[in-house]
Amino acid sequence: MESVRIAAAPRIVQPVGDGVARLCGYITGNSALATLLIIIGALAIVVCAGLLVLRKWWPTTTIGQALQGNGTVVWCCAGLLVGLMLILPAQILPFVAKVLATLFQVVLDIFSAIFGI
């Protein structure tokens, strides 16, 4: 007798990307909110870039000495990425959501193969 596959791991990558793109469309559809996000993103980029400049060229200042740990670079890079996402949400956020959904899809596929679903 043939086995019939009752269910399989759901395909989530494209629906997640479409949902995030729709959400970004709602957010950027409001011009005041879009402008506010651009300003906040630009400020985040300027602050993080300024901290990296202080860390590199003025390490003897109080702020420069506080920024000498390796974790500082990671946090500044994360701040730069967040600022970029705030400036261009419709281009970056669906891509990031699809990457994360792909990782989760791999886990779902592995569980589907293990349990024979």
3-class SS of residue 88 = coil
Flag whether 96 is in a domain: yes
- Is 90 exceeded by the pLDDT of residue 108? no
112 belongs to a structural domain = no
> Domain for residue 100, yes or no?
yes
pTM: 0.70
Distance CA 7, CA 110 (A): 14
**Residue that has been written with the tokens 């970056």 in this structure:** 92
Is residue 89 domain-resident?
yes
If you average pLDDT over each of 1-5, 16-20, 51-55, 57-61, which comes out highest?
16-20
Identify the domain containing residue 96 by its residue range: 33-107
Q: Considering the domain boundaries, does residue 98 fall inside one?
A: yes
Task: Single out the residue of 7, 1, 2 nearest to residue 116, CA to CA.
Answer: 7
Distance, in Å, from the CA atom of 87 to the CA atom of 81, rounded to the nearest integer, reads: 10
Query: Residue 76 falls within a domain, yes or no?
Result: yes
CA 66 to chain CA centroid, Å, is 27
Separation of alpha carbons 99 and 23, rounded Å:
17
Domain total for the chain? 1
First and final C-alpha spacing in the chain = 17
| Within-domain flag for 16 | no
- Per-residue pLDDT band at 10 (split at 50, 70, 90): confident
Q: How confident is the model at residue 8 (pLDDT cuts 50, 70, 90)?
A: low
How far apart are the C-alpha atoms of 23 and 65, rounded to whole Å?
41
Residue 11 in any domain: the answer is no
